[in-house]
Structure 1
Amino acid sequence: MAGATHTDVNTATKGPNNAVTQNYKGPLITVTMLFFMWGFITCLNDILIPKLQQVFTLDLFQAMLIQTAFFGAYFIISLLYFLLSISKGDPIRKIGYKNGIIIGLVVAALGCVLFYPAASLHSYGFFLGALFVLASGITVLQIAANPYVAILGPPEGAASRLNMTQALNSLGTTVAPIIGGYLIFGAVSATDTGADSVKMPYLGLAAALLAIAFLIKIANLPSIQSEDEIKPDAGALRYRHLVLGIICIFAYVGGEVAIGSALINFFRLPEIAGLEEAEAGHFLAFYWGGAMVGRFFGAVALSGMTNANRKYMIIAGIAAVVFVLLYFAYGMNEALIGLGLIALNFAVLMLGRFIPSRTLGVFAATVVVLLLITSFATGAVAMWSAIAIGLFNSIMFPTIFTLAIKGLGVHTSQGSSLLVMAIVGGAIIPPLQGYVADVTGNLQLSFLVPLVCYLYIMYYGFAGSKVRDEAV
């Protein structure tokens, strides 16, 4: 498979915007399916936990090993990839991003297929192994697909493209609990406590992943490879903005997951809202749904679209659709509050002047303010301040990612593996916040833990993301 040099790719993507759209619109739509699928699969873990807890009579700690097996793969596989690139040279730069994506899909499909014998053998350990294989494939996908989307078009539009694909990832996490809950719990009778109900859903996922791999294989995707010499070294770590970006991804994922994990208990506090668990769960959807809506806004705002009025019209159209959906799902009061938060989000976007690094900085600063209100206010003000954080989390992961891999050249996928490895922050910061809440006896004050994370993100947006020539 003939590959273009890195220079050739950049040159090809610096043409007029209409030319770029004509060349890359189809490939971007194809690759976007990947982001939806791995969002869908990741969120299915929330359905698997109660199901396998029921099947194997597990305590909560044992059931949570599902997340350990899944997210542990992110860290272990990314670390192994980095070590391999040091000793042998960057694998994905050698085989090409397209082939890397196909390999990731096939490995993920194998993990899904392994659910069948795990259920037949009634082995919880087998399930954990299958999850590890599945997550290993998704890790390879992340390492290959994120930089591929960033490269697949003009550099100035990289943050916009990754925001759009991450928005589809959020859509996957939104629909997975509904569809997965029906397939895994609703597909069998209430008296069936066996694991057989997971067989067909995961075989279906395996078929879907293999079908996407086939589409990727036959699709006319640009085969971006490097003809430059790929040396076996840790060259990516020479870039200061990447090293700081790795810490930033760790802080972002840790902060986002910690806040989301604490919100139901936070909403149940008498001084906040005093909600029952089920009702609190409905409002948690605002937090995660806000991230999806904000990513659509970010994709438009950070795009290379030169017509500002057109940007505003598209954003207004998205806001109108969200208002209607909130009205029918929750009622006029919540719809109006949602519209107000969207207006605040747009105002902060304007402060960022649609510049990725500046926008990241002002979004993080806004979250710091919202967390201070969450930590020290009471009632509806504290509740809605916490919910609003989701909207401002929205653009952070894709924007941090594109800022961190900017200018890495042949070390792009090596840098990507390090950034994916930093997702382990989601396994470290939440327990730390829980520890602070237990020690102080004050859940509200524990939100100061993720606040520290967002102070660092603010620094990275305003200063740390600047590309410098000198080594670290």
Structure 2
Amino acid sequence: MVEMKTSDVAGNYRQALSLLATLFFMWGFITVINNTLLPHLRSVFDLTYTQTTLIESVWFIAYFVASIPSARLIERVGYKSAIVIGLLVMAAGALLMIPAARLPSYVVVLTALFIVASGITLLQVAANPYVAVVGPPQTASSRLNLVQAFNSLGTTLAPLFGGYLILGRSTGGTSVAGAAPLTAEERLADAQAVQLPYLLVALTLVALAFVIARYRLPDMAAGTRRVRAEDRARHSLWNHRNLVFGVPAIFIYLIAEIGVSNLFINFVSAPEIGNLTHQQAANYLFLLWGSMMVGRFLGSFLMRSISPEKVLAAFSVGAFVVMMVVLTSHGKLAMWALISVGFFHSIMFPTIFTLGIRGLGPLTEEGSGLLIMAIAGGALVIIQGWLADRYGLQASFVLTAVCELYVLFYALWGARPTNALAGQAVGDQVEGARP
């Protein structure tokens, strides 16, 4: 293997990470458009909370279904080609939203969102471990939190985009809670409001795929496959406590994050909480995701001098406290408490992810695949929808509070590595890989 100069390698990876930050931004942006899409579709199709959260469940089921095929595709075609394919799959799903709106069809909407989520899954499987293993292992959590902050930038801007182009251009989105039901004509007009936003998204994704196709991303695949082929058979994933407890930690955390974000607009719009229209509530959703972005930048800084386990424990305690305020208060206090949970959720996914793959050595790629598959936990947001229908929307957030306690358990005990393998074998291979 021809070795590259250290300065050339570092510069090449800095450029690659800058481009990958754009991917993190885009999939965050598209995912959070759902937060404005769900209350919109609830009024268009006159859905219960259970039916509304089923839309998001289908989105996260795609993570479970597509994760293993995505890993195999990456091994077959490489990271760069897989990323381009993922972007094009997302664009195809976004374009399918146009006929879904014209019909309009609840089933076609579900199909379109499943396709978009499958493309995002491919990007997640490729990009998260890529960022985690490029650079010193001790700063992996800080590095992934930093890049995930750009994901949060996308999630912060998406509610403004969706609030203006979807909720702001629909009758249901500009009506106060408890207003008269929409007529058939109003439902049809509201359904078609999603066509322009998703057309713009599709065009942006195609343009990004073109840029990446022409960019020389460093190819990590050969090095990671070589290590697995030589060493994998001698080790077991199940000997690593940090991974074994990390997979359910990702799964459970996603239930909390998705439950908060997808029911946020309905919660703060309620007369006893914020008494807002859905369009107005979308502006506060902007603050929820904005606080997550701030938390990730802060978390990245803190983890340079404080262990990621301690930072994760502190943030999980904060999340539990503010969720108890949400459960026991009303009015603006409850609304701002729910907004603040975004800050405490901010570092959870990237920190759990990097703690989960710590010490896996040649098993890093497979461990990463399991952690990405665990994002399917977001599909269980339907449980919160069922709780909301049965016991009330506010009471349903008890599920979120319980999830925060598991994250605390993981930070205090579950994240401690056992049977750590020598060095960061995959990371060592990556740093010597050629572009």
Fold in common (TM above 0.5): yes
Residues in 1 aligned to 2:167 and 2:387: alpha-carbon distance in whole angstroms = 33
Cα 1:407/1:218, change in 2 over 3 Å: farther
Amino acid at match of 1:162: L
Cα 1:37/1:459, change in 2 over 3 Å: same
CA contact (8 A) 2:267 2:393 kept: no
Instruction: Tell me the equivalent position of 1:337.
Output: none
RMSD between superposed Cα atoms in Å: 3.9
Residues in 1 aligned to 2:251 and 2:319: alpha-carbon distance in whole angstroms = 17
Q: Kindly state the Cα deviation for residue 72 of structure 1 after the two structures are TM-superposed.
A: 2.0
Instruction: Tell me the equivalent position of 1:463.
Output: 413
Seq. identity, %: 42
State the Cα deviation string for residues 296-333 of structure 1 (Å, max 9, x = none): 21223335xxxxxxxxxxxxxxxxxxxxxxxxxxxxxx
Cα 1:373/1:205, change in 2 over 3 Å: closer
Amino acid at match of 1:451: A
CA contact (8 A) 1:433 1:447 kept: no
Q: Kindly state the Cα deviation for residue 30 of structure 1 after the two structures are TM-superposed.
A: 0.3
User: Is structure 2 residue 17 aligned with structure 1 residue 28?
Assistant: yes
Give 5+ residue unaligned stretches, structure 1: 304-352
Instruction: Tell me the equivalent position of 2:299.
Output: 298
1:259-298 pair list within 5 angstroms = 259-260=260-261, 274-278=273-277, 283-298=284-299
User: Is structure 2 residue 399 aligned with structure 1 residue 449?
Assistant: yes
User: Is structure 2 residue 66 aligned with structure 1 residue 70?
Assistant: no
CA contact (8 A) 1:269 1:275 kept: yes
Instruction: Tell me the equivalent position of 1:310.
Output: none
Instruction: Tell me the equivalent position of 1:343.
Output: none
CA contact (8 A) 1:108 1:133 kept: yes
CA contact (8 A) 1:114 1:130 kept: yes
State the Cα deviation string for residues 4-50 of structure 1 (Å, max 9, x = none): 9xxx9xxx99x7xx877534221111001111111111122234445
State the Cα deviation string for residues 383-413 of structure 1 (Å, max 9, x = none): 6554433212111111111111223344333
Q: Kindly state the Cα deviation for residue 416 of structure 1 after the two structures are TM-superposed.
A: 2.5
CA contact (8 A) 2:145 2:296 kept: yes
Equivalent residue pairs, number: 399
Instruction: Tell me the equivalent position of 1:241.
Output: 242
Amino acid at match of 1:240: R
Among 41, 47, 54, the alignment partner of 1:59 is 47
Equivalent residue of 1:44, what SS? Answer: helix
Residues in 2 aligned to 1:50 and 1:469: alpha-carbon distance in whole angstroms = 47
Cα 1:286/1:426, change in 2 over 3 Å: same
State the Cα deviation string for residues 328-384 of structure 1 (Å, max 9, x = none): xxxxxxxxxxxxxxxxxxxxxxxxx52212211222123334444555567776665
Q: Kindly state the Cα deviation for residue 169 of structure 1 after the two structures are TM-superposed.
A: 1.6
CA contact (8 A) 1:143 1:413 kept: no
1:398-413 pair list within 5 angstroms = 398-413=350-365
Residues in 2 aligned to 1:128 and 1:378: alpha-carbon distance in whole angstroms = 34
Amino acid at match of 1:392: F
1:129-208 pair list within 5 angstroms = 129-184=111-166, 193=189, 197-208=193-204
CA contact (8 A) 2:57 2:382 kept: no
Residues in 1 aligned to 2:25 and 2:151: alpha-carbon distance in whole angstroms = 4
Among 44, 50, 56, the alignment partner of 2:33 is 44
Instruction: Tell me the equivalent position of 1:252.
Output: 253
Cα 1:145/1:436, change in 2 over 3 Å: same
Amino acid at match of 1:405: I
Instruction: Tell me the equivalent position of 2:313.
Output: 361
Instruction: Tell me the equivalent position of 1:98.
Output: 80
Equivalent residue of 1:214, what SS? Answer: helix
Give the TM-score of the pair, scaled to structure 2. 0.76
Amino acid at match of 2:414: G
Equivalent residue of 2:289, what SS? Answer: helix
Q: Kindly state the Cα deviation for residue 117 of structure 1 after the two structures are TM-superposed.
A: 4.5
Residues in 2 aligned to 1:368 and 1:242: alpha-carbon distance in whole angstroms = 23
Give 5+ residue unaligned stretches, structure 2: 172-184, 422-435
CA contact (8 A) 1:254 1:430 kept: no
Cα 1:186/1:151, change in 2 over 3 Å: same
State the Cα deviation string for residues 158-197 of structure 1 (Å, max 9, x = none): 2122212222222212222322344446679997717555
CA contact (8 A) 1:433 1:450 kept: no
Residues in 2 aligned to 1:52 and 1:377: alpha-carbon distance in whole angstroms = 28
Cα 1:119/1:381, change in 2 over 3 Å: closer
